[in-house]
Amino acid sequence: VEEWEPTLDGYLKFLVDIKVVYDTLEQIIEKPSFPSYGEFRNTGLERSEKLAKDLKWFEEKGYGVPEASSPGVAYAKYLKQLSEKDPQAFICHFYNIYFANTAGGRIIAKKVAEKILDSRELEFYKWDGELSQLLQNVRDKLNKVAENWSREDKNRCLGETEISFKFYREIVRLMLS
């Protein structure tokens, strides 16, 4: 991140697009196509409301908040389609998105905040409760859901990891635009 030169406009694009992804994930979990998705309601990792607060703060400060762009919209569409036909693959994306945000996402956020936000920590990077415990609770639920998956199911889930990272990378790159 230190070689990066993020811009405020780019960061706003990132926040808007990642919010579209979280909105979609949380809507899918709330009204699931498959019963296993219900295990992931109210985990404490949800980000949509936090992102809405951050975007409102930017608007109140006079910044123009853009419309969602193609990286976020494309990923949200992919997730919606996947969630309706392949629960193992969808759950892989769920895991990757939430866990990437809590790991590398926080590191990136700190660097971006130092460079363009006078070190202000956004709500997006704050959790209600102990983050390590929230993550462990979700890991336990994931293990429970996946315990009856076949080897083929597990391989399909793993195969989605590369796709998940590709989509996420495109959204993160918006920070530099």
Domain CATH code at residue 66: 1.20.910.10
Q: Which of 11, 9, 15 has its CA nearest to residue 111?
A: 11
Please indicate, yes or no, if residue 155 is contained in any of the structural domains: yes
Read off the pLDDT of each residue in 27-40 and give the average, rounded to a whole number. 96
Tally of domains within the chain: 1
Read off the pLDDT of each residue in 99-121 and give the average, rounded to a whole number. 85
Please indicate, yes or no, if residue 35 is contained in any of the structural domains: yes
Residues with Cβ within 8 Å of 61's Cβ and at least 6 positions away in sequence, in order, are none
Give me the pLDDT at residue 54, please.
97
Contact assessment for residue 93 and residue 79, using Cβ atoms and an 8 Å cutoff: yes
Please indicate, yes or no, if residue 143 is contained in any of the structural domains: yes
Contact assessment for residue 66 and residue 17, using Cβ atoms and an 8 Å cutoff: no
Please indicate, yes or no, if residue 33 is contained in any of the structural domains: yes
Position 102 confidence tier, pLDDT thresholds 50, 70, 90: confident
Give me the pLDDT at residue 1, please.
44
Please indicate, yes or no, if residue 1 is contained in any of the structural domains: no
Q: Which of 34, 129, 18, 122 has its CA nearest to residue 84?
A: 34
Task: Express each pLDDT in 47-59 by its tens digit.
Answer: 999 999 999 999 9
- pLDDT score of 16 more than 90: yes
Please indicate, yes or no, if residue 95 is contained in any of the structural domains: yes
How far apart, in whole angstroms, are the C-alpha atoms of residue 17 and residue 19?
Answer: 5
Tokens encoding 139:
């890991």
Give me the pLDDT at residue 110, please.
82
Give me the pLDDT at residue 3, please.
67
Please indicate, yes or no, if residue 135 is contained in any of the structural domains: yes
Task: Express each pLDDT in 124-176 by its tens digit.
Answer: 999 999 999 999 999 999 999 999 999 999 999 999 999 999 999 999 999 98
Q: What percent of the chain has pLDDT over 70?
A: 98
Read off the pLDDT of each residue in 37-65 and give the average, rounded to a whole number. 96
How far apart, in whole angstroms, are the C-alpha atoms of residue 125 and residue 152?
Answer: 35
Please indicate, yes or no, if residue 2 is contained in any of the structural domains: no
Structural domain boundaries, residue 110: 8-176
